[in-house]
Amino acid sequence: MKPHRLTLTNALVLGYGLDKQIHNIYNPRPATQTELEAYHDHDYIEFLSRVTPHNQNDMRGMIESFNCVEDCPIFSDMYEFCKMYAGASLAAARKLCAGTTDIAINWSGGLHHAKKAEASGFCYVNDIVLAILELLRFHPRVLYIDIDIHHGDGVEFAFYHTNRVMTVSFHKYTGDFFPGTGKLDDNGTGPGKHFCLNVPLKDGIDDDMYLATFKTVIEDTVASFRPTAIVLQCGADSLGCDRLGAFNLSIAAHGECVNFVRKFNVPLLVLGGGGYTIKNVSRCWTYETSVLVGAAIPDELPVTMYDSFFRETKWKLHPPLTGRVENQNTAASLQRITIAVRNKLRYLQGAPSVALQDIPPDLAGWLADEERSREEKDEERSTATAGEARDDRSIARNEFFDGDRDNDADTADEVPLSQAAPAKPKASASTAGRKPRGGRRGRGRGRGKAVVSATESIASVASAAGDDDEEADEPSPVRTTRTRGRGRGRGRAKTTRSQAKEKEKEIEDTPPADDTSMDVDQEQLDV
């Protein structure tokens, strides 16, 4: 309930210079009401959009029916806040679908308790479900992994009946710890039977036990389910010394879980979640940002305007967080859990496939009455460069450098000098050939006369210097007479039949260019 932890995270990320390692940082638009209603009920979203701290007394009955009490209070700009973090998760999912990126991070998301028509556990809109629904438009199988100390009940409930989403939650389970769900025997139902995995843990689990269980379960799950996309919820309340948590995990072990999932090289969406000791949450997510971008950062925290938050731990990234709670887990209990998970995976009988079907409508249907940005249109077409506007010039792998006279970087329309038409070696300045420009037609300022072979393409080029530019795109009749150009200056060149054929071939090989002006200043070329 305190977005200030995101401010601390951003300050540390910028202080370490990790923003230089991130390819793109976006400020996505808020989610629309129609996008939120892709999962949530219309009446519930209408209620969120109308309720405020000033009118909550008049809407007391609706507030109680939608469970906006106790740990889900009404606060100012609540609906705008929900639209912002949900819109960020949806934008991240769209970029993964479009191929813009292979890892997308939204630390403000990960609110995994929200139900279809009910708020729960500080969560009002389930951005995880909305993002997975977006991923399912292009990906046949999505794996959801939850390392929050609380059970990811909202996501599990949403996909309890489908085999296209495998949910795996590592959480504390005692029967009365919130939300009270997530038993080992929970299994899914219908087509989703055996596609719901829970790893219930007890208080005080340490790094070694947690990592051994996590890697065993996730490795077996990925091998059996073979996901084409992964969503990882990184709730930091599973760290030691959390105000609500009771585990003994260090920041390094929490980050190792993220690193282990990253190494599968599957499109990955990383989200935030719980975490109620703010200084530890910001350190954890900063460290995991460095893990995701592949950068090594020192243990000494950078100097920021929030140094007072970290004075007690002497401004360290990895303070001691373990050993505060007695470990009630045993090797036998964890082995029983891993065996139960493996038995469930045996029933999968291979990764489920998806029949050929139309892609469900996304922005094209939801935002029909709203203006879509160019970036979102590119993403809808699944282009690999959606939203990546760069100022520097990208160079293709097959591009070559043609000596000092190669000025392709300045003018993309020019043909390299090595491809220019040959001229007679003893030609004077008045008869020197001009450097041709790329495109279907060429226009020069000089008035030239040439005797060319009776070919349609050469005649078409000759007619391009006529008075009407529109007529230049139409094929010209065969000409064997002189052609006249428009403009200042005079130039004459005689072309033999063999040279005309070579010039015709080079013009045909020249790629078409935009209909921009082809005028060039007179210059003498030393051919």
Distance CA 175, CA 185 (A): 13
Determine the 3-state secondary structure of 301 from DSSP: coil
Does pTM top 0.75 for this prediction? no
Across 100-183, the runs of DSSP E, i.e. the strands, are: 103-106, 142-146, 165-172
Angle CA(87)–CA(88)–CA(89) in degrees, nearest 5?
90
- Two tokens at 26? 């976006």
Among 112, 113, 139, 151, which one carries the catalytic annotation? 113
Domain residue ranges of the chain, discontinuous segments joined by +: 3-352
* Cβ contacts of 19 within 8 Å, gap of 6 or more: 13, 25
Strands 447-449 and 490-492: parallel
3-state helix, strand, coil in the chain (%, to 5): 35, 10, 55
What is d(CA 505, CA 453) in angstroms, rounded to the nearest whole number? 13
Superfamily of domain 3-352: Histone deacetylase domain (3.40.800.20)
Contact assessment for residue 92 and residue 108, using Cβ atoms and an 8 Å cutoff:
no
What string of pLDDT tens digits covers the 527 residues of the chain?
678 999 999 999 999 999 999 999 999 999 999 999 999 999 999 999 999 999 998 999 999 999 998 889 999 999 999 999 999 999 999 999 999 899 999 999 999 999 999 999 999 999 999 999 999 999 999 999 999 999 999 999 999 999 999 999 999 999 889 999 999 999 899 999 999 999 999 999 999 999 999 999 999 999 999 999 999 999 999 999 999 999 999 999 999 999 999 999 999 999 999 999 999 999 999 999 999 999 999 999 999 999 998 999 899 999 998 878 999 999 999 999 999 999 999 988 777 777 655 565 554 455 544 556 777 777 766 544 433 333 333 334 444 444 445 454 444 444 444 444 444 444 444 444 444 444 444 444 444 444 333 334 333 433 444 444 444 444 444 444 444 444 444 444 444 555 656 656 565 555 554 444 444 444 455 55
Whether 113 is catalytic is: yes
- Rounded CA separation 444/465 (Å): 8
